[in-house]
Every structure is written in structure tokens, then in C-alpha cells.
């Protein structure tokens, strides 16, 4: 049995966010190249992700929005100010397959085919909200995945760590009143979106205290990042005992990445991976799926993914 299922498809390269846009195919090709050179590559099974159905996407999104996006892309697409990027004919199938990557990996991990999964996808998803795209994201890949695990696989406690440099506002919105999902976003304060992700944003109703936001000041270093994550998230995930652990993985906190202002090195991503693995081992039998979000500097992506993958695979038997 392969230890890691890696979901990748050429559709993710075909999506075009616009001329000179930082969310471009080269960023995931750099990650793919790094993974192919990893010492643990023989323990990886590459899998073709399926297309999610509109009904599956609608676990999180308005059906009217999903259909409107299909029609827009089929008609040739356009630049969308809310998204800060363009969509075209290749964008809708890429977005469906990005969602489908998580669902494909979920079925494989739950069946015992793999211990863990990694979705090397684009467009990213964690900014997309109920009825609109936002911040380069069309559909919220990790949020649909969490809802799928709750509904299709009957789980009752899902943990999500979002470590992109930007706040995971769309995922937060999806589970704002849901006590079945413990969502934690550690991000640069007031970066994007500038008006979300504050400390006091903790959820409402049944979901109160099941959202954790950890905003960090610019220039935060590795040690400060990990110390803060341990202080505010470690005990929460341990007490919650997730039955499945998910991660929205952004490598744009790296010091080389111009889309953020943190001062992280690749080493911090190994420390993040170690904690994800530990949280997944508490009550989830190691079940973990990582979905790619941001990361816009090729060298920063390679360094971050190398440290992250080395640590993640180290812990498996």
C-alpha cells in the first residue's frame, strides 16, 4: 500500500488566471518537480482526481452560483474583480477537479488505500464563499471535502488547519455555526482579506469556540510562528480529537514570497507537518489530507514542500 495518495491533473495547469498573474501553473509545477525528487517518492501513488458533481460542490456553495460559473466559463470567461483573477473555458473543469481531488483522496484514505493524501491543485479554494468567488478561488476545495467527510462518510469531528499567509475566510464562513468542524487559521494580520481573521472571531451559536484565528504581525519568524501555533491550537486539536485531519496548505509565508510579509523559512513547514501528523494520530488513525492553497514563489514552494513532505512521511510506518 502506498503511504501517500497524490492527486494531480493537467486541468490544473490549463486554468489561466490572466497575464502575469501570480496564481499561475508554474507554481504547482515547481512543487511537482520537488516531489518527484524526494527520497520518499516510491511511497507515493499518483492518482487522477475525478470531477466533482455540481451537487457535491453545492454541499458548500449556492447551486445557482455553481451553474452561473459553468455558463460564464463556457461562454469564454472574463476578469472577475471579486476574484482578482480571470476565468476562461478551462477554469470550470479545473475548479470541479480541484474539488474532486479532495473527494477522491477522501475515499481512498477512508478505504485504507493510503494513509494520507495531498491535493496538488489549482485554482485554490479557501477564500471562496457561499455564492461568489474570491481571492483567486472559485470553489472552496477544503470546505467541500470536510462536508463530504461528514455526510458521505458519516464522520462527526473534522479538524482543519489553514496555514496560508492569508486568512481562510471562506472556510471560516462555511463552518461558522458548526461544532463538528474545528477550524484554525494562522495567517498574517490584515493581509487578505483585510477585515477578517481577528482573534475575537470564534464562531457563533453551536459553532462558538470552534473557530480559532491566529493573526501574526509582518516579519514573524519561524520560532514565533510555531510558539504561537502551539499556544493557541495544539491543546484545542488535542481536546477536540478529530476523526480526520485536513490542512489548507499555503507556502506563501516563506520569506521569498512577495504575496505576503512573513519571514518564514522552509523549516517551519516541517514543524507544521509534525503537528498535523500528531493531531491526526490522536483519534483519526493518522488520516490526513492536505490541499494546496497559496505559494507563489517557485523556490519558496520547493523549499517549503520539501521540508513539509520529509517530516510528514517520516512519521508513517
Model confidence over 46-59: pLDDT tens digits?
999 999 999 999 99
Stretch 289-308: mean pLDDT: 97
- Which residues are within 8 A (CB) of 4 and not within 5 positions of it... i.e. 6 or more apart? 40, 43, 44, 45, 114, 115, 116, 117, 118, 312, 313
Angle between helices 25-36 and 298-314 (to 10 degrees): 40
> In terms of residue numbers, what domain contains 299?
4-314
pLDDT of residue 317: 46
pLDDT of residue 113: 97
Q: Tell me, what CATH number does 159's domain have? A: 3.40.800.20
The pLDDT confidence band at residue 206, using thresholds 50, 70 and 90, is very high
DSSP H or E stretch at residue 288: strand 288-292
Q: What is the mean pLDDT of the chain?
A: 97
Question: Which entry of 127, 166, 187, 254 is annotated as an active-site residue?
Answer: 127
* Burial class of residue 78, CB neighbours in 10 A (0-12, 13-18, 19+): exposed
Residue 246, classed as helix, strand or coil, is: strand
pLDDT of residue 1: 64
Closest CA to 14 of 34, 29, 33, 31: 29
Statement: residue 316 has pLDDT above 70:
no
For the chain, the domain total comes to: 1
In 143-284, DSSP assigns E strands to: 158-162, 181-188, 211-216, 244-249
Phi, psi of 213, deg, nearest 5? -110, 130
Closest CA to 159 of 314, 284, 58, 313: 284
**Radius of gyration (C-alpha) of the chain in whole angstroms:** 17
15 is catalytic: no
Asked whether the beta carbons of 236 and 209 are under 8 A apart, the reply is: no
Asked whether the beta carbons of 283 and 242 are under 8 A apart, the reply is: yes
Whole-prediction pTM: 0.97
Statement: residue 299 has pLDDT above 70:
yes
Q: pLDDT digits over 64-83, tens only?
A: 999 999 999 999 999 999 89
Residue 294, classed as helix, strand or coil, is: coil
Amino acid at each position: 500500500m502506498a503511504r501517500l495518495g497524490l492527486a494531480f491533473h493537467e486541468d490544473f495547469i490549463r486554468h489561466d488566471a490572466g497575464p502575469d498573474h501570480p496564481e499561475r501553473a508554474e507554481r504547482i509545477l515547481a512543487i511537482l518537480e520537488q516531489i518527484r525528487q524526494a527520497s520518499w517518492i516510491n511511497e507515493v501513488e499518483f492518482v487522477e482526481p475525478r470531477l466533482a458533481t455540481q451537487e457535491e460542490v453545492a454541499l458548500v456553495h449556492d447551486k445557482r452560483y455553481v451553474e452561473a460559473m459553468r455558463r460564464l466559463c463556457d461562454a469564454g470567461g472574463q476578469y472577475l474583480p471579486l476574484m482578482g483573477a480571470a476565468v476562461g473555458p478551462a477554469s470550470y473543469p479545473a475548479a470541479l477537479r480541484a474539488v474532486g481531488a479532495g473527494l477522491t483522496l477522501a475515499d481512498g484514505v477512508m478505504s485504507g488505500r493510503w494513509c494520507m493524501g495531498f491535493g496538488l491543485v489549482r485554482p485554490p479554494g479557501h477564500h471562496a464563499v457561499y455564492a461568489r468567488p474570491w481571492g483567486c478561488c472559485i470553489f472552496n476545495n477544503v470546505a467541500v471535502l470536510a462536508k463530504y467527510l461528514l455526510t458521505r462518510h458519516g464522520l462527526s469531528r473534522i479538524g482543519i488547519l489553514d496555514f496560508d499567509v492569508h486568512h481562510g475566510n471562506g472556510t471560516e464562513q462555511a463552518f461558522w455555526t458548526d461544532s463538528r468542524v474545528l477550524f484554525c487559521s494562522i495567517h498574517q494580520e490584515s493581509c487578505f482579506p483585510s477585515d477578517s481573521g481577528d482573534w475575537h472571531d470564534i464562531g457563533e451559536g453551536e459553532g462558538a469556540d470552534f473557530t480559532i484565528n491566529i493573526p501574526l504581525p509582518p516579519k514573524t519568524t519561524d520560532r514565533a510562528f510555531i510558539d504561537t501555533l502551539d499556544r493557541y491550537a495544539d491543546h484545542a486539536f488535542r481536546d477536540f480529537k478529530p476523526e480526520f485531519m485536513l490542512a489548507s496548505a499555503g507556502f506563501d509565508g516563506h520569506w521569498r514570497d512577495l504575496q505576503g510579509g512573513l519571514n518564514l523559512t522552509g523549516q517551519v513547514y516541517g514543524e507544521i507537518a509534525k503537528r498535523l501528523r500528531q493531531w491526526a494520530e490522536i483519534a483519526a488513525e493518522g488520516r490526513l489530507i492536505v490541499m494546496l492553497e497559496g505559494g507563489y514563489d517557485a523556490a519558496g514552494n520547493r523549499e517549503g514542500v520539501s521540508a513539509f513532505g520529509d517530516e510528514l512521511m517520516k512519521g508513517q510506518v
